[in-house]
């Protein structure tokens, strides 16, 4: 069994800026996982955006706190705590924090083939 906390050294060492907007960290990734690509946590400050981009794997964005406008291809929806958005592989997607507090999300991705 492997248990990781977002404050563990192995997680903190992976901190990066995701697609121009969010501060992200890999909680679990390919160094450990076999069938899942990764589990990351990201914090998007008010007024910031995870810029439109495409990825070669499907993803799920799960909102823990805060709000934002999620866009997948031509669809746009307001999201908030408890909302999960499925993003098909190869789809353009972005998230804009249009709220007054940080938007914190979990990102789960399928493995890269």
For the chain, domains (ranges, CATH) are: 9-110 (2.60.120.10)
The pTM assigned to this predicted structure is 0.88
> pLDDT tens string for the chain (113 positions)?
888 888 899 999 999 999 988 999 999 888 888 888 999 999 999 999 999 999 999 999 999 999 999 999 999 999 999 999 999 999 999 999 999 999 999 999 998 65
Spatial contact of 75 and 105, defined as CB atoms under 8 Å apart:
no
Question: How many Å apart are CA 3 and CA 56, to the nearest integer?
Answer: 27
pLDDT at residue 112 in the model: 66
Q: Which of 77, 75, 67 is closest to 105 using CA atoms?
A: 67
């Amino acid at each position: 069994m492997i248990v990781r906390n977002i404050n563990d050294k192995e997680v903190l060492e992976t901190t990066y800026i995701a697609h121009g907007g969010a501060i992200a960290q890999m909680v679990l990734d390919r160094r450990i996982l076999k069938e899942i690509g990764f589990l990351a946590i990201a914090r998007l400050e008010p007024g910031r955006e995870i810029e439109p981009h495409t990825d070669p794997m499907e993803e799920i964005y799960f909102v823990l706190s805060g709000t934002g406008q999620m866009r997948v291809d031509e669809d746009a929806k307001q999201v908030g705590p408890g909302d999960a958005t499925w993003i098909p592989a190869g789809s353009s997607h972005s998230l804009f924090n249009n709220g007054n507090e940080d938007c914190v999300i979990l990102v789960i991705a399928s493995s890269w083939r």
